[in-house]
Structure 1
Amino acid sequence: MKRAIFPGTFDPFTIGHFSVVKRALTFMDEIIIGIGVNDNKKTWFPTEKRVEMIKRLYANESRIRVEAYDNLTVDFAQQRNAKFIIRGIRTVRDFEYEETIADINRKLAGIETILLFTEPELTAISSTIVRELLQYGKDVTPFLPEGLDINL
């Protein structure tokens, strides 16, 4: 079984994230969406709410699990017997950062990272921008997957 984790803060889970998961499901048997708990990051939604929102979004997809974790991503992957880490790449800067982390994860645990480039029409969308729009009371539904309920 090919199991991968797709780690991130997902605050909130955007159509870019949704696209990465959809594309990864074409070559993975199971994906665990891992919501990293990082006390140094100021988040808009509490961890529990992010877990619940994404679980509801994928309620009818048996190959998706959603879990929060508060350790190193590579350790979380090993604990879940995942052999792959999926990451989405929007920019060259993302690539450079992810390449370094992927090299370390491979050396630490033999876990391979698969980088999926964002679809061109989605490259401008980030959780950071969506949070800022939320802060100013703007409608963010065009940037979220259909069915993601941020008002739980």
Structure 2
Amino acid sequence: MSSVIAVYPGTFDPMTLGHEDVVRRATQLFSKVVVAVAAGHHKKTLFSLQERIEMARQVAEPFKDQVTVESFSGLLRDFVVGRGGKAMVRGLRAVTDFDYEFQLAGMNRSLMPDVETVFLTPSDKYQFISSTFVREIAMLGGEVDKFVSPFVQEKLAEKVRSLERE
């Protein structure tokens, strides 16, 4: 395997089994994968940046020889280029993701002509999972154990309990 650094950016609010599957698949293609947790200035997140980093690090633990987790804010291009990234990994769940991701890839190509966007699809059993659905189910008291790791499930339960106390 050649020494290629790939960046997998996202808000990861929270990190799902689909995200974890994309990380695993990326480690089979690239020598190093940087999971880039976005500060989320454009989205209101349930979890703080520090909490999302902690969850991503826990989920990435089995791949620690190849995967690092870092946060970023500002232009993704600056982060990718600053890390020596040659590929950007994006997960695609369904056709509905494709239009947005295709436009994003085109924009990123104009900003980073030397960086390729690679689309990875999660396993069939994870294709319908989204962080938004997981948050909503958890906030409404539903079970999310089929969608997130046990560590993330516990963090979600803690967050829901803390919000109920407010």
User: Normalising by structure 1, what TM-score?
Assistant: 0.92
Q: Does 1:5 align with 2:4?
A: no
Which of 72, 75, 79 aligns to 1:72? It is 75
Q: 1:135: how far off?
A: 1.0
**Residue 24 and residue 46 in structure 1: after superposition, are their counterparts in 2 closer, same or farther (change >3 A)?**
same
- Superposed CA RMSD: 1.7
Is 1:42 the counterpart of 2:44? The answer is yes
Match of 1:114 among 115, 118, 121: 118
Q: Secondary structure at the match of 1:141?
A: coil
Q: Which residue identity is paired with 2:129?
A: I
- Aligned residue pair count: 152
Number of the residue aligned with 1:99:
102
Segments of 5+ residues of structure 2 without an aligned counterpart are 160-166
Instruction: Report how far residue 29 of structure 1 moved.
Output: 0.4
Instruction: Provide closer, same or farther for how the CA distance between residues 18 and 84 of structure 1 changes in structure 2, counting only shifts above 3 A.
Output: same
The aligned counterpart of 2:58 is 56
Match of 2:16 in 1: 14
Asked if the contact 2:55/2:151 (under 8 Å) is kept, the reply is no
Match of 2:32 in 1: 30
CA shift at 1:79, angstroms?
1.1
SS state at 1:142 partner: coil
What's the offset of the Cα at 1:146?
4.8
Hey, what does 2:142 align to over in structure 1? 138
Q: CA deviation at 1:147?
A: 4.7
Displacement of 1:4 in angstroms is 0.5
Inter-CA distance 58–139: structure 2 relative to 1 (3 Å threshold): same
Q: Percent of aligned positions with the same letter in both sequences?
A: 35
Letter of the structure 1 residue corresponding to residue 29 of structure 2: F
Residue deviations 1:88-119 (CA, integer Å, cap 9, x gap): 00111211111111112112212110001232
- The separation in 1 between residues aligned to 2:128 and 2:58, in whole angstroms, is 25
